Amino acid sequence: MAQQQFNVAMFPADIGGCGHYRMKFPVWSLQTNAKNIRVIDSMKLIGDPRFFYDIRCVRIQRQVNDAQCDYFLKFLKPLSDSIGFWTIYEVDDVIKYEDIPLYNHGRTAYENKQFFANVKNILQGCDFLTVTTDTLRQYYIDNYELEEDKVVTIPNYLPRWWIGEAYREDLIKERYDVHKDKPRIGLPLSSSHYDLTGINNYIDDFSIISDFVRSTVKKYQWVVVGHVPKKIEDLIKSKQVECVPGSDLLNYPREMVDRGKFNAIVAPLQDNVFNRCKSNIKLLESWALGIPCIVQDLSCYSPYTKMTFKDNNELQIQLDNLFKDKKKYIKTVKNNRKIIDYGDTRSPNGWWLEKNLSKWFQLFTAPQKTIRLDLTKEGQDKKSQSEPEKETSLIELDLSI
């Protein structure tokens, strides 16, 4: 008997980190494991109804403008209801204008007040919304008046084929010795973390530690990746703080190890709604690379690690503890990588994408839309199994990781 084929259409909004983690990485990994899943990936919306006749589900990422809303409400949703394919909206950040920090340059892309209404209309019309964290899930339920069983949390996972082989314990030990008198500390923050124009008086995610960086330039070799924070621009010009170029995403792991040569990474964040809804991906990437990561004590990070800080004093304590003993440092590196490989209570399967494909697989291979699904359940409800089948039966997929 021929294997059933599942065709998936997806329309990414970007080709950066979000587009890869949420759209491309999962399907690239799936297609090498499940030969019966085929994915059509297009940055342009397709308006020919015939294209969708054999599609099982359609994923759209972060679509907000009037044309995209019209496309969904007037074309895609009626077609979905008629043919039976699922419509799934993907978003991994807060995109409500009022809750995006003023210093985040991406805020201007959502300043059109109609965009909120457009997103709400699309979300209420689509079958499911996929998000990265439970905090973000609750945010969309509360702000966009969505039913709870419509919003599905699928965390960001790391493709082992992308970042897994960049870990080299011998190199980590060697770099500890080379930099023991002045450890190299990376600040790999994207431009969205910085107030580059002064619109918020240069108060941003980095400003939390700017004074600390300034006061410790002789103790640590601070290394900024890609973008220059205004508050220490003079230190970079005087070469007291190093700045290395950013990297394209596919070469990011190698560049972080070979060019960064970091002994640690520090990830500061302002305490706001936008940041609390973030995922823990910066922490996971660092652990996978064998680089200890000290993060802001916010709910996006604190459930996963004890290496957090609230202020500069706590940051200094964490750095002192990290670098005071080489054996403990290497033990920290190994324990972090062990969590990536084998997991803990927060992620029993670990954090490799290849070991956590079940949610994506079941999302893409769901029965036709004529059968109602609950994708938020962790297991099948035993009581419903014994009940007589109704006109639209409830299929509860096991999406536990």
Contact 89, 73 (CB under 8 A): no
CATH 3.40.50.2000, the chain: domain bounds: 161-342
CATH number for the domain running over 161-342: 3.40.50.2000
Q: For 285-341, give the secondary structure using H, E and C.
A: HHHHHCCCEEEECCCCCCCCCCCEECCHHHHHHHHHHHHCCHHHHHHHHHHHHHHHH
Q: Quick one: pLDDT at residue 165?
A: 94
Strand partners, 187: 224
Q: Quick one: pLDDT at residue 376?
A: 65
Pick the closest to residue 289 from 319, 320, 266, 258 (CA basis).
Answer: 258
**Residue 100, SS3?**
coil
Residue 390 DSSP symbol: -
Rounded Cα distance, 178 and 371, in Å:
61
Pick the closest to residue 22 from 134, 113, 154 (CA basis).
Answer: 154
Class of domain 6-157+353-396: alpha beta
Strand partners, 242: 223
Residue 308: φ, ψ to 5° = -120, 165
Averaged pLDDT, 356-381: 75
Rounded Cα distance, 366 and 129, in Å:
15
Q: CB pairs under 8 A, 24+ apart, for 24-29?
A: 25/159, 25/162, 25/353, 26/353, 26/357, 26/360, 27/360, 27/364, 28/159, 29/159, 29/161, 29/353, 29/354, 29/357
Tens-digit pLDDT profile for residues 198-247:
999 999 999 999 999 999 999 999 999 988 899 999 999 999 999 999 89
Tens-digit pLDDT profile for residues 276-321:
999 999 999 999 999 999 999 999 999 999 999 999 999 999 999 9
Q: What is the residue whose two structure tokens read 């008198």?
A: 181
Confidence of residue 384 (pLDDT cuts 50, 70, 90): very low
Confidence of residue 102 (pLDDT cuts 50, 70, 90): very high
Q: Taken in order 346, 349, 352, 354, is the CA torsion positive or negative?
A: negative
Tens-digit pLDDT profile for residues 47-61:
999 999 999 999 999
Q: Quick one: pLDDT at residue 2?
A: 66
Q: Quick one: pLDDT at residue 33?
A: 84
CB neighbour burial string for 136-157, b if at least 16 within 10 angstroms, e if fewer: bbebbbebbebeeebbbbbbbb
Residue 397: φ, ψ to 5° = -85, 145
Q: Which helix (H) or strand (E) holds 396?
A: strand 394-396
Tokens in use for 231? 């508050």
Averaged pLDDT, 261-280: 98
How is the beta sheet containing 57-61 ordered, strand by strand?
Answer: 37-41, 6-11, 57-61, 86-90, 128-131, 151-153
Kindly report the pTM of this predicted structure: 0.90
Residue 400 has pLDDT above 80, yes or no: no
- The string of DSSP letters for 198-261 reads STTTT-SSGGGTHHHHHHTTTTSEEEEESS--GGGHHHHHTTSSEEE----GGGHHHHIIIII-
Tokens in use for 253? 């792991």
Residue 111: φ, ψ to 5° = -75, -15
The dihedral region occupied by 212, where left means phi > 0, alpha psi between -120 and 50, and beta the remainder, is: alpha
